[in-house]
Structure 1
C-alpha cells in the first residue's frame, strides 16, 4: 500500500511540474518591463523542464507506469489554472504571488516524496527529489526576497502610465 501511495504521488508531482511549466511560460511572456523577474522565471522554467525529466527517471526506477500521465495532468491543471487566471491590470504582482504560492505547494509535495522514498528505501529517488526540493526552495526564496522590489516597481510604473505598469 505504501508503494502505491508513492507511485500516485509521483504521478501527481509530474503533473504538477507540467502545470508549473505552463504557468512559467505564460508569465515570462508578459514581463518585458521586469527584466530581472523575467530572467529568474525563465531560469526556473528550464529547471522545471529538467525536474520533469528527473521525475520521469525516478518513475522508471520504480517501474511506475507513465502511460496515464496525461490523464493525471488534468488534476494539477485545475489548481494551476486558478493561479494563472488571476492575471489582471496588476498581473505582475498577482503572478509573483501566485508563483510564490505554487513554489510552496511544490516544496510541500517534494518533502512528502522524499520521506516516502526514504521509508521505502528508494535512496536514489530521495536524493533526486532532494535536489529538486532545493531548486524549488531557491525559487521561493528568490520570489520572497524580490516581492517588495517588484511591488515598488509596479507602483512607480502604474503612477506614470497605468497601461504599461502591468507588463
Structure 2
C-alpha cells in the first residue's frame, strides 16, 4: 500500500466520523427549532442527506476492504452531543447553532475537496464520485444557511424583543 492510499483511507474514515458527528449535531438542533419552521425543514432535509452521505462513505470503505473507525465515530458523536447540550443553556441557541452549522459545512466542504483530490490521485473513481456528490450537498447547505442567516437573525431579534423564551426555539 502506498502512503497516499493510507492517507485516502484515513481521510475517508475522518469523513465518515464527521458525518456521524453532523447527524448527532443536526438531530440536536432540530429538536429545538419549532419557532423556525423553514430552518427546521432545511435541517431535516440535510439530516437525511447526512445519513446518506455517511452510508455512501461506509460503502466506499467496504468496497476497498476497510472499515470506518469506531473510535473516531464515537468521538465525533460525543463532541456533537456535548455541543448540543451546551446550546440548551445559551439564550441565543438558534444563532449559535446557525453559526456552528455554517462553520461545520465549510469543514465538510474542505474535507470532500481533499478526498476528491486523493481519490483521483489513487485512481479511486467511485470514492471521487461519492465525494463529489457529498460535496455538492454540503455546498448547497452552506449556501442555504448563508442566504437565510440575515432572515434567521431578524426572526430571532423580533422574538427576543417580544418573548425571550420563544427566541431560543
TM over 0.5: yes
Q: How far apart, in 1, do the equivalents of 2:124 and 2:76 lie? A: 25
Within 5 Å, give how 1:125-140 maps onto structure 2: 125-140=127-142
Q: Name 2:71's counterpart in structure 1.
A: 71
Residue 96 of structure 2 corresponds to residue 99 of structure 1: no
Select the residue among 61, 77, 101 that pairs with 2:63: 61
Residue 18 of structure 2 corresponds to residue 12 of structure 1: no
1:65 deviates by 2.6
Select the residue among 27, 30, 51 that pairs with 1:28: 30
1:95 deviates by 0.3
Which runs of at least 4 in structure 1 moved beyond 2 Å after TM superposition? 74-86
Q: How far apart, in 2, do the equivalents of 1:82 and 1:144 lie? A: 25
Q: How far apart, in 1, do the equivalents of 2:107 and 2:83 lie? A: 12
Q: Name 2:5's counterpart in structure 1.
A: 3
Q: How far apart, in 1, do the equivalents of 2:42 and 2:60 lie? A: 26
Q: How far apart, in 2, do the equivalents of 1:127 and 1:7 lie? A: 15
Q: What 5-or-longer segments of structure 1 have no aligned partner?
A: none
Q: How far apart, in 2, do the equivalents of 1:22 and 1:80 lie? A: 6
Q: How far apart, in 2, do the equivalents of 1:157 and 1:28 lie? A: 18
Q: How far apart, in 2, do the equivalents of 1:72 and 1:147 lie? A: 31
Alignment deviations for residues 45-74 of structure 1 (CA, whole Å, 9 cap, x no partner): 0000000110011111221133xx221224
RMSD across aligned positions (CA):
1.5
Q: Residues 86 and 94 of structure 1 are in contact (CA less than 8 Å); yes or no, is this contact kept in structure 2?
A: no
How many equivalent pairs are there?
165
Q: Residues 19 and 77 of structure 1 are in contact (CA less than 8 Å); yes or no, is this contact kept in structure 2?
A: yes
Alignment deviations for residues 83-131 of structure 1 (CA, whole Å, 9 cap, x no partner): 5455211000110010000010111000000100000000111011100
1:9 deviates by 0.7
- Determine helix, strand or coil for the equivalent of 1:117: helix
Q: Name 2:91's counterpart in structure 1.
A: 89
